[in-house]
């Protein structure tokens, strides 16, 4: 939206100036063209992923890996668009530990170079990148 506010008197410190003012407003949103290409994994028990080692971590991460595999096979055509898993820091770190413990290629820590040539690594599940998003929180109400 655009609104021309015309000429106004503005103050810069002790000086008065005449300036043209314009107001811009931009409302962003996200559009999903086809609902069949979005899968949500809810009610992840992160208490098993935080601060534990051994079989408890392996059980929690294995359950999550199974849910991720089921989510991938709900998508009608994986070659449409760019598939990605978005998760918070807790889930991402639990999967990263699981990827380092296993020698399978299901969960992998990939190596590469950024656009500036600096080395970095990323986590992937069956070739689909797992992206960390800090806006996703653990304190959601559970779905029943």
In sequence order, what are the beta bridge partners of 109? Answer: 123
Q: What is the pLDDT of residues 22-53, one digit of tens each?
A: 999 998 887 888 889 999 888 887 776 655 55
Task: Confirm if 41 and 71 have CB atoms less than 8 A apart.
Answer: yes
Kindly give the residue spans of alpha helices, DSSP state H, lying in 1-142: 55-72, 89-101
pLDDT at 110 over 80: no
Cα separation, 140 vs 99, whole angstroms: 26
Task: Confirm if 4 and 27 have CB atoms less than 8 A apart.
Answer: no
Q: What is the pLDDT of residues 52-100, one digit of tens each?
A: 554 555 566 667 888 888 999 999 998 888 889 998 888 888 888 777 7
């Amino acid at each position: 939206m655009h609104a021309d506010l015309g000429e106004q008197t503005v103050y810069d410190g002790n000086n008065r100036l005449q300036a043209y003012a314009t107001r811009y407003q931009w409302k962003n949103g996200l559009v999903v063209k086809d609902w069949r290409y979005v899968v949500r994994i809810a009610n992840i028990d992160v208490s098993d992923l935080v601060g534990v080692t051994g079989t408890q971590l392996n059980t929690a991460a294995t359950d999550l890996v199974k849910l991720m595999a089921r989510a991938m096979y709900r998508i009608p055509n994986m070659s449409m668009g760019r598939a990605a898993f978005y998760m918070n820091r807790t889930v991402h770190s639990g999967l990263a530990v699981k990827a380092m413990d296993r020698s399978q290629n299901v969960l992998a820590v990939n190596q590469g170079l950024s656009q500036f040539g600096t080395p970095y690594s990323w986590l992937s599940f069956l070739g689909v990148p797992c992206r960390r998003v800090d806006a996703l929180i653990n304190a959601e109400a559970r779905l029943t």
